[in-house]
């Protein structure tokens, strides 16, 4: 008897065969869909070999698009074979039926989707053979050998499989039923999704806020200030002029003036006058090292730094994992590692290219002197740990975008184990005959981990050495015109951040800033909506369907997308609620952890769908709008 090792892709199957030294027999090989020797049979999926059948295939009565057939609740969800991979399914059907195959070693991707791919196949072929799970996080040869040494019982992942199945079935129930209902009522083919619709609503709301924004002019007054030399301090630094903003009376709480004349009048009161340092506040701010990357954090950073879309980053990260084997499993939602993995840090750092040596030396020195690091926490690691470089040194011939993405991962590994950065923040209030001005300074006292990610640091804003009570002089003033700015359109970075946090208010979409630096020392506080591995696909789907268009880094809702959200919010607004979708994601996470029952979850989804369809059935039909294709064509001509 021998095991059948089942990988998710042909390339993964060949990697396993190489590590296990399984050379194909004359009767098998790549063209036959499997590899074999005396010990093992190795075969593979080609992604999803099976998919949920469409409504008319689940039930012939549902072929007709009619409210009389809604809602559609299959008693047992039927799977259908994908025509493009039918031959490989036939290979697996034959292998699983072989009498000399005694068990299955499941080597699909280590995650919810990979588990579902196998479980669908196992159930569809009515297989009853025992199986164990190969949980590969590090796709190097050493990582594969380690996973084989730690094979886990298949039943350990039953909850994960139940969560994956509940997610897929709920997506079908919400998507198929509401897409049909809104298409029937709207007169155009509309697409509704459990996650995509709240995300589209967020983009529509932002576009409306920008479209409705009325810019208002305002004026500021900048003064050039010089500290007057005293008896004890006549250094050049002390006499260096610095800028300060003239504040607006009567409460002096801000520095904006409604009219140019107001700003000019206030400038005249201080121009050429002497004054004093009325108040001075200096604080040292400690900026903790960042956590390691999970997929969403990496996608956000790659979009901000290089303009990569979320999908591009995911595809490249998958290639760095599967083909180049220089990073660990990328589809993770953890920014932590375990104590066991922490022991490997010196070896992983040593394998980085020579160009990182100065940073490696700094990190290794701190590893020797420090015992505690925020990113090392066994309790925060479940199925996967954070994205790390493996022990393999990348090839110099890698494509430039792959090098850029690898560089982010390598630098983040080093940054996480470097000291905190320290910033001296200075705030100064100046008094000139009762009129107020304010100035601010920022000096990095210790660069710390920012040496590994220098693009975050920015320039120092240096003030001369000042003390409370020091005399100053206003050399000149300048009035400048400006105007208020609308909210910014979402980029993939900010949209991913919103999806990650599940907070879709206009404000509060970014992590708190410390001295202009985004605080990355804390993880996102919630499970958000969508999964790290699916958020990129949601964005791409909205673009493909013409609901959203890209303008450089910006994501902008189209007229068609706006029309759809207006329609949904006037009928079943819960479909656009990030809060509800977030709660569903939390339910799915609880199912994966064994804390919730998938049957209860599906019952809730069915009731939600039933109530929504009842509401929609009473609604009058809406006028036609341009289909997505026409909207896209119009966008291209702008």
- Looking at residue 465, its pLDDT comes to 84
- Looking at residue 265, its pLDDT comes to 97
- Looking at residue 136, its pLDDT comes to 86
Q: What are phi and psi of 453, to 5 degrees?
A: -130, 70
More confident residue, 516 or 76: 76
**Burial class of residue 361 (count of CB atoms within 10 Å of its CB; 0-12, 13-18, 19+):** exposed
All residues at 6 or more sequence positions from 636 whose CB lies less than 8 Å from its CB, including other chains: none
**356 labelled catalytic:** no
Distance CA 314, CA 295 (A): 8
Give the model confidence (pLDDT) of 135-153 as tens digits.
987 777 888 898 999 999 9
CATH annotation of 2-134: 3.40.50.140
- Looking at residue 521, its pLDDT comes to 59
**pLDDT at 623 > cutoff 70:** no
- CATH fold for the domain made of 217-288+421-483: Topoisomerase I; domain 3 (2.70.20)
**pLDDT at 507 > cutoff 50:** no
Give the model confidence (pLDDT) of 363-377 as tens digits.
999 999 887 999 999
Distance CA 292, CA 197 (A): 30
- Looking at residue 237, its pLDDT comes to 53
Highest mean pLDDT among 144-148, 226-230, 454-458, 542-546: 542-546
| Mean pLDDT, rounded, for 29-41 | 82
| Mean pLDDT, rounded, for 82-107 | 95
Question: Residue 507, SS3?
Answer: coil
- Looking at residue 522, its pLDDT comes to 62
Mean pLDDT of the chain, nearest integer: 89
- Which of 329, 336, 406, 547 is labelled catalytic? 329
Distance CA 208, CA 204 (A): 6
Instruction: Look up the CATH superfamily of 295-416.
Output: Topoisomerase I, domain 4 (1.10.290.10)
Question: Which pTM was predicted?
Answer: 0.82
CATH 3.30.450.20 is the classification of domain 167-209+488-637: no
CA dihedral 593→596→599→605, nearest 10 degrees, is -100
| Mean pLDDT, rounded, for 552-558 | 95
Domain range annotation of the chain: 2-134, 167-209+488-637, 217-288+421-483, 295-416
């Amino acid at each position: 008897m021998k095991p059948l090792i089942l990988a998710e892709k042909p390339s993964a199957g060949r990697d396993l065969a190489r590590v296990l030294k399984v050379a194909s027999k004359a009767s098998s090989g790549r063209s036959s869909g499997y590899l074999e020797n005396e010990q093992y049979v190795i075969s593979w999926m080609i992604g999803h070999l099976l998919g949920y059948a469409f409504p008319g295939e689940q039930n012939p009565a549902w072929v007709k698009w009619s409210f009389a057939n809604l809602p559609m609740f299959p008693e047992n969800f039927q799977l259908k074979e994908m025509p493009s991979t039918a031959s490989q399914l036939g290979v697996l059907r034959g292998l699983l039926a072989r009498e000399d195959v005694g068990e299955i070693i499941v080597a699909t991707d280590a995650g919810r989707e990979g588990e579902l791919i196998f479980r669908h196949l196992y159930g569809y072929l009515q297989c009853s053979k025992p199986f164990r799970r190969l949980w590969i996080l590090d796709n190097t040869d050493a990582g594969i050998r380690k996973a084989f040494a730690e094979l886990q019982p298949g039943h350990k992942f039953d909850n994960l499989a139940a969560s994956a199945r509940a997610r897929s079935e709920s997506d079908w129930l919400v998507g198929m039923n509401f897409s049909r209902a809104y298409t029937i009522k709207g007169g155009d083919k509309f697409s509704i999704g459990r996650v995509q619709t709240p995300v589209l609503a967020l983009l529509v709301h932002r576009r409306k806020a920008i479209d409705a924004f009325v810019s208002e002019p305002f004026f500021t007054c900048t003064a050039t200030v010089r500290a007057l030399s005293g008896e004890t301090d006549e250094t050049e630094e002390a006499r260096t002029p610095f800028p300060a903003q003239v504040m607006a009376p009567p409460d002096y709480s801000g520095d904006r003036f409604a009219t140019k004349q107001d700003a000019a009048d206030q400038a005249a009161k201080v121009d050429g006058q002497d004054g004093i340092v009325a108040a001075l506040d200096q604080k040292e701010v400690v900026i903790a090292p960042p956590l390691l990357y999970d997929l969403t954090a990496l996608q956000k950073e790659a979009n901000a730094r290089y303009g990569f879309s979320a999908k591009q980053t995911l595809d490249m990260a998958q290639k760095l994992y599967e083909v180049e084997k220089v990073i660990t499993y990328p589809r993770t939602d953890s920014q932590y590692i375990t104590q066991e993995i922490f022991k490997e840090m010196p070896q992983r750092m040593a394998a980085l290219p020579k160009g990182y040596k100065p940073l490696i030396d700094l990190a290794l020195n701190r590893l020797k002197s420090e015992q505690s690091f925020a990113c090392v926490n066994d309790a925060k690691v479940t199925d996967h740990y954070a994205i790390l470089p493996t022990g393999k040194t990348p090839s110099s011939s890698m494509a430039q975008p792959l090098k850029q993405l690898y560089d982010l991962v390598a630098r983040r590994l080093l940054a996480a184990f470097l000291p905190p950065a320290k910033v001296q923040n200075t705030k100064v209030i100046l008094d000139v005959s009762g009129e107020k001005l304010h100035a601010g300074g920022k000096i990095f006292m210790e660069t710390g981990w920012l040496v590994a990610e220098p693009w975050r640091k920015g320039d120092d804003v240096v003030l001369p050495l000042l003390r409370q009570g020091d005399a100053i002089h206003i050399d000149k003033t300048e009035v400048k015109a400006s105007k208020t700015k609308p909210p910014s359109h979402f980029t993939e970075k900010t949209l991913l951040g919103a999806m990650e946090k599940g907070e879709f208010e206009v404000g509060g979409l970014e992590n708190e800033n410390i001295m202009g630096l985004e605080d990355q020392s804390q993880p996102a506080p919630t499970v958000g909506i969508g999964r790290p591995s699916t958020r990129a696909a949601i964005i791409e789907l909205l673009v493909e369907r013409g609901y959203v268009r890209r303008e450089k880094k910006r994501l902008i809702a189209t007229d068609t997308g706006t029309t759809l959200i207006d329609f949904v919010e006037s009928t079943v607004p819960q479909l656009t609620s990030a809060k509800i979708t977030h709660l569903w994601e939390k339910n799915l996470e609880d199912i994966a952890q064994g804390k919730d029952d998938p049957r209860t979850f599906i019952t809730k989804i069915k009731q939600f769908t039933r109530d929504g369809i009842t509401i929609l059935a009473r609604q009058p039909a809406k006028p036609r709008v341009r289909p997505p294709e026409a909207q896209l064509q119009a966008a291209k001509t702008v």
